Amino acid sequence: MSLALESAAIESAVLALDLRTDAFIDGRFSPARSGKRFATENPATGKVIAQVAACDLADVDRAVQSARKAFEGGAWSRMSPLNRKKVLLKFADLLEANAGELALLDCLEGGKPIGDCVNTDVPETIHCIRWHAETLDKIYDRVAPTGPENLAMILREPVGVVGAVIPWNFPTQMAAWKLGPALGAGNSVVLKPAEQTSMSALRMAELAVEAGLPPGALNVVPGMGETAGQAIGRHMDVDMAAFTGSTEVGRLFLRYSAESNLKRVILECGGKSPQVVLADPPELDTIAAHAVNAAFWNMGENCSCGSRLIVHESVKDALVEKIAALAHTWTVGNPLDPATRVGSMIEKSHMEKVLSYIAAGKSEGAKVVMGGNRALSESGGYFVDVTIFDEVANGMKIAREEIFGPVLSVIPVKSEEEAVKLANESNYGLAASLYTRDLNAAHRVARALRAGTVSVNCFSEGDMTTPFGGYKESGFAGRDKSIFAHEQYTELKTIWMQIG
């Protein structure tokens, strides 16, 4: 059911929610074997919503065994691409039929504005599953150009059991970015959602099986990163780990792989993405709209958050004024209120971390243009003001480290060369935006920026047809979205035949 963005409808939909809180293994819900549970809370109120099964090694093991059995059995892995497509399209239809519920779960557990969940997160989730489903019976394998005495077929086969470990910032969407291509390619998946946001992934798995996915082809093991996440990373029978999250934890997955079975690892990690504005920009009002969206969409809890505005000094003051005026219209408030543009931080400790970055910005001498404090503390929730710092130096902590909150740093520059130099002076390289009217500069700078996605005269991550992932410490060995995502969940096999 879709959800009307209107308070009474939202309130009654919250009351009608039937929460899934057990692990989903072998096509069924079951508690963790230990019986342990952990509290999931609403970060906009600080109140506990539910107690979720705390899976550990024993449960990951059960899930991997089920996934392996499904893979070996072939009911999914050897199903024809046409039929896999039909099941995944049915899955997308069921996601659509339950879109309102999924949106509410992400809003309640994630502190995300309901408008974003209804209009962006869930539709993008459905689109992702449909897009990958649609590709399945349109992909061809290859025949190598050998001589007439041989036939060499180059085939793509599913990797096997894929462990997916994902973050809390876009719960359904991050699940879909892994599930669409991994299931599409015929793999079995064991998914660990972030501890803060498990419930939409659990519901998605239930819907996938309802759509005809064989039991075991998708298992969801909620739990802590250090236990369930690590158990996936180190499991000897997991063939591939697909991770999205912090660079710090991403590094651990490389170690887990090295110390276990050399499972394939792909990492989508953090960012400190620049928005570069050259001296001859397009309309400042348009740039301001993109810049505010880049910095404050999803509370800045976005891997591609445009957190550094690197702007030519000749246009800086006029642009910052427009950005601040627009940012004042981004209401911080209850995520269930359709008027809210900025919800809460994901949890108390994260709010405190964001506030400590703001304090560092102030003490290092950056100028506060707006915000800079905790907001709505009377709600019991973890809100932070939309915050803009001007006169930031690229060496300051707020310009170097990923804050993952609604904090924009404005860094003035004197030339195109300086802008490119500062933009690239970062350990990260996930995304970048560039604003200029000069076509040559657009091409020149877009190529010079070291980032997986460069958007010109807009803030964008591209769409489902374009790969998304990072250079440098923003990623490793992989991309989400597009046909490139599909391919990375496959092994390349050569079958060489002698023709007598």
Catalytic residues: 268, 303
Residue 428 CB, nearest approach to ligand NAP (Å): 9
Cβ 73 to ligand NAP shortest distance, Å: 28
Greatest Cα pair distance in the chain:
82
Which amino acid would we find at residue 70?
Answer: A
Output the CA–CA distances (angstroms, integers) from residue 249 to 25, 256, 496, in the order listed: 25, 11, 40
Interacting residue with ligand NAP among 24, 91, 168, 389 (CB under 6 A)? 168
Instruction: With contacts defined by CB under 6 A, name the span among 7-15, 71-79, 240-248, 492-500 that binds ligand NAP.
Output: 240-248
- Least distance (Å) from ligand NAP to the CB of residue 166? 6
Q: Is 241 an interacting residue with respect to ligand NAP (CB under 6 A)? A: no
For the record, the structure tokens of 295 come out as 């910095």
Of 184 and 475, CB closest to ligand NAP: 475
Within 13 Å of residue 189, how many CA atoms lie on the same side as its CB?
29
Could you identify the residue written with the tokens 């779960």? 105
Site map (CB under 6 A) of ligand NAP, residues 431-470, x = contact? ---------------------------------------x
55/457 Cα distance (integer angstroms): 45
Report the amino acid identity of residue 297.
W
How far apart (Å, rounded) are the C-alpha atoms in residues 107 and 171? 10
Amino acid at 276: V
Minimum Å distance from CB 193 to ligand NAP? 6
Nearer to ligand NAP (CB atom), residue 232 or residue 323: 232
> Does 42 contact ligand NAP by CB under 6 A?
no
Q: Which of 20, 130, 192, 486 binds ligand NAP (CB under 6 A)?
A: 192
DSSP state letter for 342: B
Q: Is 56 in the site for ligand NAP (CB under 6 A)?
A: no
Cα 223 from Cα 221, distance rounded (Å): 6
Q: How far apart are CA 132 and CA 312, in angstroms?
A: 41
Looking at the Cβ atoms of 176 and 211, the one nearer to ligand NAP is 176
Distance CA 337, CA 343 (A): 9
Strand partners, 142: 154
* Beta carbon nearer to ligand NAP, 5 or 254: 254
Where on the chain is the footprint of ligand NAP (CB under 6 A)?
165-169, 174, 192, 194-195, 224-226, 229-230, 233, 244-246, 249, 252, 268-271, 303, 402, 404, 430, 470, 475, 480
